[in-house]
Structure 1
């Protein structure tokens, strides 16, 4: 979340903290600069979106738009204002009533053939944030050229067309199909259930946390639908609460975020913890080990477990393996890539974000592939063909069915993961970041990496050739558009990144151990992020290698001390 200036941001945060909606609206009426921008969600709240959609989508007014919201401060009001802006221009609006989870919006866009969709949410961001996600007519988050087109349209339409939301309830253009869409969504979710006859007899006990978000009602219905014994909710986090009183950051990935869920699990003797983020499009899980200690799964580990399950079901259906495809972001684990090479299905990677994963999946479908799964390491998972976006409820149910099936075989999720390591190789990640508040310093760091030995040119960069005793085997720079794996043009097949982003692959001289290292800047935070994964047959060797790579990355490549880079 970013604001026009720091003083404005602090004023808004104070108003939101006080939940002073009247004063917030008064100031927003008179000071347009209070409008917020959510960089990661791909959208901005301004009436220019309506102008762009009407110009670029055929029959947009009659096809309409879908608008939904979560429980955050002012989410409902901003959803109503969004709806009012479209209605004022004669555009039909399918306005979801009450709190909904994010996946319901893209599902509804596809179901009603809407021109676009808007979800008012800040996902798992801190409590003072809000923003919204924009979905195009293909029910996938917007990408180029629509992102820039919408931004330009907003700049050309800065004056709000209306502040009147009172007429929405009676307007023939504002349609309520919320319950119908929920029913259709659960019918779609029901099609993913494959072990219903056995689910009701599982002895496994689940704890579920909604992280003070909107997922409890959806998860309750989903468990009934799949015939599982009902989970035990984390009562302190069960009810939607925009203050998120029990967690510093409402993100299941954050350290300590699952502590209450694990405590609940200890109290009732649960086997697994399930968790969704506040808008219920992300999913995380933990397993209680034989020693009583909890095993937190990483986003990549869950992605691998899901990929293997999807593959197993696909093969069991006796479908042609060469028509199966899976998608993952380029910073996610390469273990699914290894799985694809061994099993014979197609694996495609794309830029970070489900706007790219969803669109890549649609492109593969047009090429004749079936794409039943896609994921990103930031605990986002896509299942089936009806929602080309991440869905925390669907992921929760797929995980519950997986572990219930494994239990009948005398296995657990963690033991099954070890089996997958033995078949496809051991993979371990080590992701973190450096802090830098000076953009010129960041530019200087990446410029040095692109001319590491001083012999590079603008046409032929010269990147580091080794790291931690490994030889660099390939470099893909998505900032300047250079990829050593694609001669003679050396042009990358992936789209270019708006910030710095370089991916290196390296291996030991005997090729027994490999790494993938991606460094990139954040679009919303003063960070240089790195995504590091090691792989090989020797688990201990991989585990010892990763800290050495991080140390050389920090001391030599980033020159963290000389550049005064912070560390978490």
Structure 2
């Protein structure tokens, strides 16, 4: 049997088992047209289940997100769990999220598990909280976070409330590979339905216990970026005693088409334009934004000249860390961040006499940081992900854009009461610890082999100098450098405390490079920022040449 014939055979087998009339119609048309390019794209490979679960474009075939893919994932998960185990299932407002959630519930209950399905779409941190709150063995969240509108995804949480890590991902993936036709799977319909009183109310009570401070006078502009965070965030702020935020009306209601943004990610150019314009109109003290599933949070502040600027993830991370440490106590406290985040957190931890850890990228690693005897009170990653805790530790063992937004508001209100802003607090940190300036260089490719080749070139011939700074050490993170689990990445330490990390993206066809320079502050902070911007630009230029992409 030749390759084309086998491809058509597999497509027809898929068509016969697919329960979705929309993807069946799409696939039938491709078969009728004999479109081998499209069939190869959908059936020539498959979405691999990993520590990020599944994520991909909607459509028929194993290389797409669809009801067959989701039902197979649920059946694989069921084989790793025990009959009678409880699984909590949540979903966002993307295309087919509710359908995929119900399919998951049907497969899991059909396999003998107990399922609690959210009554409606709620933020990802609510699902993560619910796993712990209900004592579940696992949780599933149907979401593609801030991916484009055509995508959807599938996150799996374990009983500790955190996303899965190896070897669980491999076990589930192998179990999925053993699943046969989905139209032969036993399906159930006796799952429980979780109301707001069941999970949203306890979640709100938990985040209202975060170290928010005592000040509440603050004018906030907020956008949920067409996602599911709006109602929960506004309710949380109101209950905490803040004035309701002015919301970006065009982006407040969940809309899977994300009509006002090219890319529903607060970090992307143009995504915050409507919020920035509303803040300028209102004279707001603070801008807050969630991504579509509300596990990330972005913050913007007035610059003092009538304009506003968005803070970087590292800037917010440093401010939140110091705020939390000022409002908590105990020598067992731990703060953690990913290796691609700013090294500033280690210096903050040293000043406050608390434990510090760096981890691989992803909150599944951050929330597992430490030795077990330490109490994690704050974790963050530079991509706008924060988990804020109190003296009792973390209420959510994942990034939480709602809890972070509340805490940022509390921090900004405290500064406002003293006649200051978050920018003043950033200047304080620069004077105390040195100015830690970070940036990125991302290269998107159409052929993933180009990333493999670039990483191989860098491993074979590490650069001796970047941005005018000598490369003092080159670490291959695939060898488990620094006691970390192996991961595909390279870390260069440069003269003067600068650092570069290069790694392939785990969710997109990108090579991502994370840059950091540290500039001592002897005079005006503005002068140090100008120098840092120059140094980061020099690093980008040299690194771009070294990548050869």
User: Residue 509 of structure 2 corresponds to which residue in structure 1?
Assistant: 526
Q: Deviations over 1:97-145 (max 9, x none)?
A: 1111101111111111111100011101000000111101211101100
Indicate conservation of the 8 Å contact 2:441/2:540, yes or no.
no
What's the offset of the Cα at 1:442?
A: 3.2
User: Residue 17 of structure 1 corresponds to which residue in structure 2?
Assistant: none
What's the offset of the Cα at 1:42?
A: 2.2
Range 256-265 or range 395-404, more displaced: 256-265
Give the counterpart of 1:285 among 278, 281, 299: 299
Give the counterpart of 2:359 among 347, 350, 354: 350
Aligned equivalents of 1:119, 1:371: Cα separation in 2: 24
In the superposition, relative to structure 1, how do residues 276 and 442 fare at CA in structure 2: closer, same or farther (>3 Å)? closer
Give the counterpart of 1:505 among 493, 496, 512: 493
What's the offset of the Cα at 1:519?
A: 0.6
Q: Deviations over 1:283-322 (max 9, x none)?
A: 00111222111121001101011011011112xx4x33xx
What's the offset of the Cα at 1:264?
A: 1.3
Residue 397 in 1 paired to residue 406 in 2? yes
Aligned equivalents of 1:467, 1:91: Cα separation in 2: 55
Indicate conservation of the 8 Å contact 2:47/2:54, yes or no.
no
Aligned equivalents of 1:26, 1:386: Cα separation in 2: 45
SS in 1 for 2:431: helix
Structure 1 segment 79-228 matched on structure 2, within 5 A: 79-160=101-182, 168=189, 171=190, 173-195=191-213, 198-199=215-216, 202=217, 204-228=218-242
User: Residue 247 of structure 1 corresponds to which residue in structure 2?
Assistant: 261
SS in 1 for 2:124: coil
User: Residue 14 of structure 1 corresponds to which residue in structure 2?
Assistant: none
Aligned equivalents of 2:384, 2:284: Cα separation in 1: 22
Aligned equivalents of 1:387, 1:162: Cα separation in 2: 37
User: Residue 541 of structure 2 corresponds to which residue in structure 1?
Assistant: 551
What's the offset of the Cα at 1:89?
A: 1.2
User: Residue 305 of structure 1 corresponds to which residue in structure 2?
Assistant: 319
User: Residue 466 of structure 1 corresponds to which residue in structure 2?
Assistant: 465
Aligned equivalents of 1:444, 1:28: Cα separation in 2: 34
SS in 2 for 1:287: strand
Residue 477 in 1 paired to residue 479 in 2? no
What's the offset of the Cα at 1:439?
A: 4.1
In the superposition, relative to structure 1, how do residues 293 and 537 fare at CA in structure 2: closer, same or farther (>3 Å)? same
Range 85-94 or range 436-445, more displaced: 436-445
What's the offset of the Cα at 1:181?
A: 1.0
Indicate conservation of the 8 Å contact 2:51/2:169, yes or no.
no
Aligned equivalents of 1:68, 1:267: Cα separation in 2: 37
Residue 370 in 1 paired to residue 353 in 2? no
Indicate conservation of the 8 Å contact 2:362/2:381, yes or no.
yes
SS in 1 for 2:367: helix
Residue 334 in 1 paired to residue 343 in 2? yes
Structure 1: where are the runs of 5+ without partners? Answer: 1-6, 12-19, 453-462, 484-491, 508-512
Indicate conservation of the 8 Å contact 2:80/2:171, yes or no.
no
Q: Deviations over 1:191-238 (max 9, x none)?
A: 115435x42xx1x21111010111111012101210111111100001
Aligned equivalents of 1:471, 1:531: Cα separation in 2: 17
**TM-score, with normalisation over the residues of structure 1?**
0.82
User: Residue 14 of structure 2 corresponds to which residue in structure 1?
Assistant: none
Aligned equivalents of 1:229, 1:110: Cα separation in 2: 31
When the two chains are superposed, the root-mean-square deviation of aligned CA atoms in Å is: 2.7
Structure 2: where are the runs of 5+ without partners? Answer: 1-6, 12-18, 32-38, 56-68, 522-527
Aligned equivalents of 2:182, 2:536: Cα separation in 1: 52
What's the offset of the Cα at 1:82?
A: 0.4
User: Residue 417 of structure 2 corresponds to which residue in structure 1?
Assistant: 408
Residue 274 in 1 paired to residue 288 in 2? yes
**TM-score, with normalisation over the residues of structure 2?**
0.85
In the superposition, relative to structure 1, how do residues 417 and 108 fare at CA in structure 2: closer, same or farther (>3 Å)? same
SS in 2 for 1:192: coil
Residue 74 in 1 paired to residue 62 in 2? no
User: Residue 432 of structure 2 corresponds to which residue in structure 1?
Assistant: 423
Residue 381 in 1 paired to residue 386 in 2? yes
Indicate conservation of the 8 Å contact 2:51/2:163, yes or no.
no
What's the offset of the Cα at 1:537?
A: 0.5
Indicate conservation of the 8 Å contact 1:428/1:533, yes or no.
yes
In the superposition, relative to structure 1, how do residues 285 and 116 fare at CA in structure 2: closer, same or farther (>3 Å)? same
In the superposition, relative to structure 1, how do residues 222 and 418 fare at CA in structure 2: closer, same or farther (>3 Å)? same
Aligned equivalents of 1:39, 1:146: Cα separation in 2: 9
User: Residue 460 of structure 1 corresponds to which residue in structure 2?
Assistant: none
Indicate conservation of the 8 Å contact 1:330/1:352, yes or no.
yes
What's the offset of the Cα at 1:443?
A: 3.2
Q: Deviations over 1:492-526 (max 9, x none)?
A: 410111xx31011111xxxxx32110011123433
In the superposition, relative to structure 1, how do residues 425 and 65 fare at CA in structure 2: closer, same or farther (>3 Å)? same
